[in-house]
Amino acid sequence: MNGRPPPGGIEPPVRVRITPEESRLLAELILDHCGVLLGGDAGFLLERRLASRLDHLSLGSYLEYYHYLSYDLGGPAELLECIERVTTHETYLFREQFQLDAFQREILPVLLGRRGAGAPVVWSAGCSTGEEAYTIASLLTETARPGARVVGSDISVRGVRAAEAGIYGPSSFRTTPEDRRERYFEPLPGGQWRAIEPLRRMCTFVHLNLLDTARYGELGAIDTIFCRNVLMYLSSQARRRVVEGFYDALVPGGYLLLGHSESLISVPGRFDLVNLSNDLVYRKPG
């Protein structure tokens, strides 16, 4: 989750400059709310991404914006909009195919082979607009027994709504094999595709701040968690909190899959590191 432009991709001209103190206050507010640690260019990022919000709210400075977020009755809703604008949700279907193959060919058989094992439940944590969740659902359709479920969660309200719709353009299919696109998505006018109804039935999407670990239990017993390219944007304290929450949410023997550039080396914990044929994953003992 780094920066992304506001809807439409066009950033408005900046009419108000942010001061270092205003940048610090806003960055700390964002850190406290969702654990996202903004980099050294936080001031530039906040100024570019939030300029239109000052105009929308008729505020004259970023300090006024900070006070609005902190004390105004509209602050909680505006904080969601703020987070929406300073984090990114870049994703696509069938991303990191080597890891998806490891999940389908090596992890799923273990989960399904356990005594008394039911249909697996997979959590796509930080699912953005849902491409990862539908990817996992398609793999479960091919491999798992009926009743398998995918839960997708994201801090972005708009992302969750888009995931529920399951409608995607060409960019989302840039690494999707054509046969899978045609099997799991139906064409719509304008070059878009929608996840087929059976796939949408398998997926449930929820708005969830990963720092709210008390809510993880609402998702049920989880067999595997995909959390790819999310932890890398969190502070060390937030990472530890989220990873501990993941551990508690997983069933004994459950798996945690991270992005290819992420690891738990800097996060002391109780997970075992498992060396698969083409990937390293983490497993809760048991």
Per-residue pLDDT of 119-165, as tens digits, reads 899 999 999 999 999 999 999 999 987 899 999 999 999 999 999 99
pLDDT of residue 14: 55
Cα gap 279→158, rounded to integer Å: 32
* CA-closest candidate to residue 137, choices 129, 127, 145, 148: 148
Q: Which amino acid is at 94?
A: F
- Confidence check: pLDDT of 277 > 70: yes
**Mean pLDDT (whole number) for 25-40:** 94
Q: E strands along 50-148, which residues? A: 121-125
pLDDT of residue 189: 92
Q: Which amino acid is at 255?
A: Y
Give the pLDDT band (50/70/90) at residue 2.
very low
Q: Which amino acid is at 70?
A: S
Helix, coil or strand: residue 43: helix
Contacts of 280 (CB under 8 A, 6+ apart): 263, 273, 274
Cα gap 267→2, rounded to integer Å: 21
Share of the chain above pLDDT 70, in %: 94
Q: E strands along 46-102, which residues? A: none
Say if pTM beats, i.e. exceeds, 0.85: yes
Cα gap 155→211, rounded to integer Å: 10
Q: How large is the angle between the packed helices 20-34 and 42-57, nearest 10 degrees?
A: 90
pLDDT of residue 15: 76
Token pair, residue 162, equals 């888009």
**To the nearest 10°, the Cα dihedral for 226, 232, 233, 238?**
80
Residue pair 132/226 in contact by the 8 Å Cβ criterion: yes
**Mean pLDDT (whole number) for 246-262:** 96
**Mean pLDDT (whole number) for 17-34:** 96
* CA-closest candidate to residue 26, choices 45, 5, 52: 45
pLDDT of residue 5: 39
Residue pair 164/205 in contact by the 8 Å Cβ criterion: yes
* CA-closest candidate to residue 139, choices 91, 193, 95: 95
